[in-house]
Amino acid sequence: MVLDPPLPKPLVGRLTVIGLGLIGSSILRAALARRLADEVVAYDHFEPVRSRVEALGIADRVAATPEEAVTGADVVILCVPVGAMGAVGEDIGPHVAPGAIISDVGSVKASVAKALAGQIPDYAHVIPAHPVAGTEYSGPDAGFATLFQNRWCILTPPEGADEGAVDLLEEIWAAMGANVERMSAERHDLVLAITSHVPHLIAYNIVGTAADLETVTQSEVIKYSAGGFRDFTRIAASDPTMWRDVFLNNREAVIEVLGRFTEDLFALQRAIRWEQGDALFELFTRTRAIRRSIIEQGQETAAPDFGRAHD
């Protein structure tokens, strides 16, 4: 998979990325590959990360401070944990340029919009966003330019947002290969609670249960892991700081979906206990159809064993 060639003309003068982990470093790589801006600026509050980004050469300039990073920027994308958005907004708020677009990549939107709205001046445009893409790896070395190819990026512009600014942000994400959708922050948070947040919570829980099961040793869990458990461990290896903040900042939607999940789980438990094979078969048939739909929309591979590589 490769990106399209550089644009004939950059979309903006200066694009700044704050937070240089998997998503931030992938944005840097994609922005340089497609030349989305005349200048691509990077900043991270950890000096070793800034040094590594400089060594990798994935930004035109690595700023030493948040003020330097956002000064004169047309677009600023915050790639920090959602729990840190307010603090970062406070750092950059006094220095953002009039008309600048301030966006993010967090997987919770209502709390991010609220945190940034209180810190970013009215003369700038706060337009939250969420690229639904990622891996279990983190850090600037984990990023790659094609991470967003054929993945969804959801924009959640607040009511009354400047349409030109929203269109420009959509154009930037589309240029990085993403399919862009718009919805309300509240709708986004409920949808992602179902499709991402609760599945991650289940993965963390099942891996933790396996580790704590006294009748099975940890070495046996590792040695005899079947495909389903291996997939759970991949999800459960995701960044703990990021996911802690996700659950705390989307707690209402997560609790709502967990309640429904718990009810369905009890129903499944009853079906197994009372040997209700028809009920089990009906459920498995419905869920299999959903898997097919995901593959048909190009959001997953149809390769055997989910595309897992074998020696």
Which single residue is written with the structure tokens 């209502």? Answer: 110
Strands of the sheet containing 129-131, edge to edge, are 129-131, 152-155, 179-182
Give the DSSP H/E element, type plus range, for residue 180: strand 179-182
Backbone angles phi, psi at 303, to 5 degrees: -65, 150
Q: Kindly state the tokens that stand for 269.
A: 């438990």
- The pLDDT confidence band at residue 301, using thresholds 50, 70 and 90, is low
pLDDT digits (tens, 9 = 90+) for 202-256: 988 988 888 777 666 777 777 777 667 888 888 888 888 888 999 999 999 999 9
Integer Cα distance of 200 and 233 in angstroms: 10
The whole-number pLDDT of residue 206 equals 86
Integer Cα distance of 257 and 249 in angstroms: 15
pLDDT digits (tens, 9 = 90+) for 260-299: 999 999 999 999 999 999 999 999 898 888 777 777 777 6
The whole-number pLDDT of residue 304 equals 46
- Average pLDDT on 167-190 reads 97
The whole-number pLDDT of residue 311 equals 40
- Average pLDDT on 146-152 reads 95
The whole-number pLDDT of residue 300 equals 64
The whole-number pLDDT of residue 135 equals 83
- pTM score, whole prediction: 0.83
Q: How far is CA 27 from CA 48, 104, 133, 279, in A?
A: 19, 11, 12, 46
Entry field: residues in the chain: 311
Integer Cα distance of 169 and 59 in angstroms: 19
* Domains of the chain in sequence order: 12-183 (3.40.50.720), 187-299 (1.10.3660.10)
pLDDT digits (tens, 9 = 90+) for 58-116: 999 999 999 999 999 999 999 999 999 999 999 999 999 999 999 999 999 999 999 99
- The pLDDT confidence band at residue 167, using thresholds 50, 70 and 90, is very high
